[in-house]
Structure 1
Amino acid sequence: MEESVVTKVFLPIALAVIMLGMGLSLTTDDFKRVMIYPKAAVLGMLNQLILLPIVAFVYAKIFPLSPELAVGLMILAICPGGVTSNLISHISKGDTALSITLTAISGVITVITIPFILSFSLEHFMAEGEKISLPIGRTILQIFVITIIPILMGMSIRFLAESFADKMGKPV
């Protein structure tokens, strides 16, 4: 399947810009707080990275899903919540700092977990003739470039120019 300019160029750039924006709202203090009070973050990570994929896998095995739907369900289960969860936490007056921290930590961890679990899901659910191979090393590198580097850039901008980061982080 041939990739379009949208999926090959514009989508990765848009995702990187979103990650940069998230990095603008993070400081090292966000991560220090998790180290001091790790219970909520550990529970959230266990639920998101272990329980949710297991539930999705069991669901895909119990119910008669097509192979494509089963793999799609697994993709939904293994991807981190993203910036939308932070917005929902903020609007609902939840713990926005915890949400940002969970999003950042899961973003880092899923750089490694997504390629492996997705590769397993493709092998497990797809028929022999329909199997798609996933280049794990290349996928890890792409996720790293699109997520981790922009987050670190955003955090660096916040560290060097906090007022600029605050202005950039506010909605238009």
Structure 2
Amino acid sequence: MSQIQRFGSWLTKWFTLVVIVWAAVNYFAPQTSLWAKGFTNYFLSIVLFGMGMTLSLDDFKRIVKMPLMVIVGTVAHYLIMPLLAVLLCKVFHLDGMVAVGVILVGCCPSGTSSNVMSFLSRGDVALDVSIGLLSTLLAPLMVPLLMSGLASQYVEIPVEKLFLTALQVVLIPIVLGVTVHTLLGERVSAVTTVMPAVSQVAILLIIGVVVAVNNQKLFTAETAMILPVVMLHNLSGYGLGWLFSRLMFRIYPKGFRYAQQKAITFEVGMQDSALGATLALQAFAANPVVAIPSTFFSVWHNISGSVLASLWRGHDDKYGIPADSHDGRRPVARPIEVGAGAQAEA
């Protein structure tokens, strides 16, 4: 177990670089991962089962304890990212299956990587986890609903297939994971300690499949605009998530403080791209190009999230802004009363 944990720690540290290298391997040697094409839904189920085993009833109680912030953050995610995707498709004149792929990743719940970024930036990790949990639990309903409303102009959306696939790979594994944790308690700790490594390997396998099946289409005129669109999608998500949280701070300053604003920023801008790729491969099996935006997003948002978290933390350290700051402003130094000091010396 300790060897797997060490491997998991190493993989976490270098995950973005490993993803890039692994993608390159599958681009030049697609047979490396083609064997796994029919198993991507099981790989993602393993990831979310592991997520479920790390959850307890307290995680669900937290949603009840701070319902306003969790619900508002979830609504912001499912409102901002899908509409941004549609807007970017219009601006960049994306069409067909490429546009469907961009909108699909925009309709996905928030990614688990956002929890790490929130932690690194000294954000409210508990709020981050709660929003991520609620948005993920709602995914079987929200993804088909949003895709039907926003992407049906490009192609007929297999709503039932999307719903059943999301139910199979998201809701059922999480419920099973929570059930196992509830029944076995601390006895699952030996398994949960190795789940990060297992989850990351599963995500790598999904990425490998997407690159392999799109080997001939990954860098063509049809897909040339996907990477800049994905980058703008993610960065605009951060920006609008931050502006939204600042607006909510003006309305309800007690609940949307500086740490909560960081959490909402990451929760809005980061997507569960592994789910997007899996849904694309299952529901749009005849058009695997739909999965390319999710794969690009998976690589890019880990890079951008790490950079943003580092910049945020560095900014706070430079200006002495504490993690529990009310509004994120620099502390105001109190003026020294020179006269009083002089009188005391006299």
Q: TM-score range by the shorter chain?
A: 0.7 to 0.9
State the Cα distance separating 1:88 from its structure 2 match: 2.8
1:58 equivalenced with 2:87 (yes/no): yes
**For residues 191 and 89 of structure 2, what CA distance do their matches in structure 1 show?**
42
Q: How far apart, CA to CA, are the structure 2 residues paired with 1:151 and 1:12?
A: 14
* Corresponding letter in the other structure for 2:37: T
Aligned-pair identity (%): 25
Opposite residue 161 of structure 1, the aligned amino acid is: L
Give per-residue Cα distances to partners, 1:19-67, cap 9 Å, x unaligned. 0111011112212122121232122112111122122222322332343
Matched, 1:118 2:118: no
> What corresponds to 2:49 in structure 1?
20
Shift of 1:15: 0.4
How far residue 141 of structure 1 moved from its aligned partner, in angstroms, is 1.7
Where 2:36 maps in the other structure, the secondary structure is helix
Q: C-alpha distance in 1, partners of 2:130/2:122?
A: 16
Quick one: which amino acid aligns to residue 115 of structure 2?
A: N
Q: Is the 8 A contact 2:70 2:131 kept in 1?
A: yes
Which residue is 2:161 aligned to? 138
- Which structure carries more relative contact order (alpha carbon 8 Å, separation 6+)? 1
Gap regions ≥5 residues in structure 2: 1-33, 198-346
| Structure 2 CA distance for aligned equivalents of residues 142 and 72 of structure 1 | 16
Aligned counterparts of 1:60 and 1:145: Cα–Cα separation in 2: 29
Are 1:46 and 2:75 counterparts?
yes
Equivalent residue for 1:82?
111
Instruction: Give the aligned CA root-mean-square deviation in angstroms.
Output: 2.2
Q: Answer yes or no: is 1:8 the counterpart of 2:38.
A: yes
The partner residue of 2:174 within 151, 156, 169 is 151
Aligned residue pairs total 162
Alignment deviations for residues 131-155 of structure 1 (CA, whole Å, 9 cap, x no partner): 3x33322321221111111111111
Counterpart position of 1:100: 129
Q: Deviations over 1:82-129 (max 9, x none)?
A: 3222333344443333222222211121211212322344421x2xxx
Compute the TM-score of the two structures, normalised by the length of structure 1.
Answer: 0.81
| In 2, Cα distance between equivalents of 1:93 and 1:59 | 31
